[in-house]
Amino acid sequence: MTDLFDLSGKTALVTGGSRGLGLQIAKAFGEHGADVIVASRKLDACEAAAREIERLGRRALAYACHMGHWPQIDGLVAAAYSAFGKVDILVNNAGMSPTTPASSDVTEELFDKVLALNFKGPFRLSALIGPRMAAAGGGSIINVSSVGSLIPNAQFGPYAGAKAALNAITAAHAAEFGPNVRVNAILPGSFRTDIAKDWPKEKELKLQAAIPRYGEPREIVTTALYLASDHSSYTTGAMIRVDGGRRA
C-alpha cells in the first residue's frame, strides 16, 4: 500500500522534539521519509532523538535552542538552512505549563517565561521561516497549542493565555503566508507520554471528557502527519482539537 502520509524529500523542524509529543512527532516524520531537525534546550537529549531518527535511514540534526530567546532562534534557523537548504515542515511544539495556584502569586519573571516559550518563540520562528517557505513554493507550519486555550483552568492562567495567543497568530500567519504555506494548530488534551509519569495517578480518573482517559501518542501523531502532508492542501488557519472531547 502506498504511504498515505509520504514525506519523502521533505525537511521538518520540530521544537521541543527531544521528548513527549514532540519526540513522537519527530520520529513519525522520520518513519514517513522526512529528514528532521530536532531542537530543544538540552543538546544531549536532541542528539539522542536525532540518533533514533538516523536509525530510520533519515538525516537528522540536533540543535540546542531556548525557544524563548530570539537570538538563539535566529541561530537555529541559520543552522537548519545551512544543513538542509530548506524547511518544508515546522512544528512549534516547545512549551511549559507551570501551575499557578493564585494569579497574585505569579511573578513577573514566571509570567514572562511562560509567554516567551509558548508564544513569543513560536511567533518569531514562524516569522522567520514562513516567508522562506512562501518564496520556495509552500510549506506547513503546525503550532502545538492546548485545549486549555479554549477551556482555561484557573491553575494554568498564564499558560492558557499564551496558548490562546498562539491560536490567534495561527490564523494571522495563515493569512500572511498563504496561499502556499498552510498554518494550523493542534489543541491536545492530556497524553500518555514520558511527561505523564510525573502526573498524579488520580488525574486521569477525574478527566471530564467524552473519552475519559489519556490519549496515546499515536492518536495525535496522525493529526500531525495529516497537517504535514499534501493531503491537508485545503486546510489552513484550523484549530484541531485532539482531546477526547474534553468538557473541562
- What CATH number did the domain enclosing 180 receive? 3.40.50.720
What pTM was estimated for this model as a whole?
0.95
In the sheet with 89-92, reading across from the earlier edge strand, the strands are: 60-64, 35-40, 11-15, 89-92, 139-144, 181-188, 239-242
Residues carrying an active site annotation: 159
Work out how many domains the chain is built from and give that number: 1
Domain assignment of residue 141, yes or no: yes
- End-to-end CA separation in angstroms for the chain: 40
CA 191 – CA 227 distance, rounded (Å): 19
- Domain containing 181: what range? 11-242
Share of the chain above pLDDT 70, in %: 99
| Burial degree of 132 (CB within 10 A; 0-12, 13-18, 19+) | middle
Band of pLDDT at residue 1, cut at 50, 70 and 90: very low
pLDDT at residue 196 above 80?
A: no
Please report which helix (H) or strand (E) contains residue 52, including its range: helix 43-54
Q: Name the average pLDDT for the chain.
A: 94
- The answer to whether position 5 is within a domain reads no
Residues 101-115 have pLDDT tens digits of: 789 999 999 999 999
For residue 116, being part of any structural domain is answered with yes
pLDDT in tens, 58-97: 999 999 999 999 999 999 999 999 999 999 999 999 988 8
pLDDT at 2: 64
Domain assignment present for 225: yes
Rounded mean pLDDT of 223-240? 97
CB of 232 closer than 8 Å to CB of 178: no
Q: Is residue 6 part of a domain?
A: no
